[in-house]
Structure formats: C-alpha cells, structure tokens
C-alpha cells in the first residue's frame, strides 16, 4: 500500500510540477488544481506504471489521492499472477 501511494504521489507531482510533500492521501484533486485534462493524463500514467486499466465508471468517482490509491491497490491485487515456468 505504501509503495503504491508513494508511486501515485510521484506521478501526480510530476504531472502537476509540484513538490511531492504538498500531496497527501487526503488531498482532493480540486485542491491540487487537477483539471479534466490532468486527470486523463495522470490516470494514463498510473495505468502504465502499474499495468492496470482503470474502468471508465471508476474514473468519475475518484475525488482524492486516497481514492486513487485504494482503487489502484484493488486493481493490482486483482491482476492475474504470472505463471512460473
């Protein structure tokens, strides 16, 4: 969970060009001035970083960084494990 949160915060900080320590799990995207274009960009970067696909219906309900981290955690946990040879 901590690793996922850290990585999500890194992605948001990079996309918004703001320091990571200004972002907490309680930060709302409105507080971070994340507009609709930022949200599309950040969601894609998160999907790429974790190898997941955020469902369309989930995108609209993500209001805080914590919401995003929780969602990513569930999607990562649901990923099929890679079979070992």
Partner 1 sequence: MNRVVVTGLGCITPIGNTIEDFRTSLFTSATGIAPFPPYPEAPGPTQGLRFTQTAAVKNFDPADHLASGIIAATDRTAHFAIVAARQAALLSGFLDHHAKDDIAIIVGCACAGRQSEETETIKLYGRDARVHPLTVTRTMASAGASHISIDLGITGPVLNISTACSSATHAIGQAFHMVRHGIVSAAITGGHEAPLTFGFLRAWDSMRVVSPTQCQPFAANRDGMTLGEGGAMFVIETLESAQARNATIYAEIVGFGMSADAHHITQPAPDGAASAMRKALKDANASPEDVTYINAHGTGTQANDATEAAAIHQLFGSLGSQIPISSTKSLHGHSIGATGAIEALATIIALHEQQLPANAGVTEVDPTLNLDVILNTPRQSEQKIALSNSLAFGGLNAVLALRHHLL
Asked if residue 35 binds partner 1 (CB under 8 A), the reply is yes
**What residues pair up with 28 in beta bridges, in sequence order?**
64
Asked if residue 16 binds partner 1 (CB under 8 A), the reply is yes
Judged by CB under 8 A, which of 28, 48, 55, 63 binds partner 1? 48
Dihedral over Cα of 29, 32, 37, 41: its sign:
negative
Distance CA 75, CA 35 (A): 24
# residues near partner 1 by CB under 8 A: 15
**What residues pair up with 64 in beta bridges, in sequence order?**
28
By CB under 8 A, name the binding residues for partner 1. 15-17, 33-38, 40-41, 43-44, 47-48
């Amino acid at each position: 969970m901590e690793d996922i949160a850290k990585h999500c915060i890194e992605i948001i900080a990079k996309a918004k060009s703001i320091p990571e320590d200004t972002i907490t799990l309680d930060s709302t995207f409105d507080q971070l001035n994340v507009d609709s274009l930022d949200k599309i960009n950040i969601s894609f970067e998160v999907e790429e970083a974790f190898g997941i696909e955020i469902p369309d219906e989930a995108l609209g309900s993500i209001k805080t960084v914590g919401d995003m981290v929780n969602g990513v955690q569930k999607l990562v946990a649901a990923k099929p494990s890679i079979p070992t040879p």
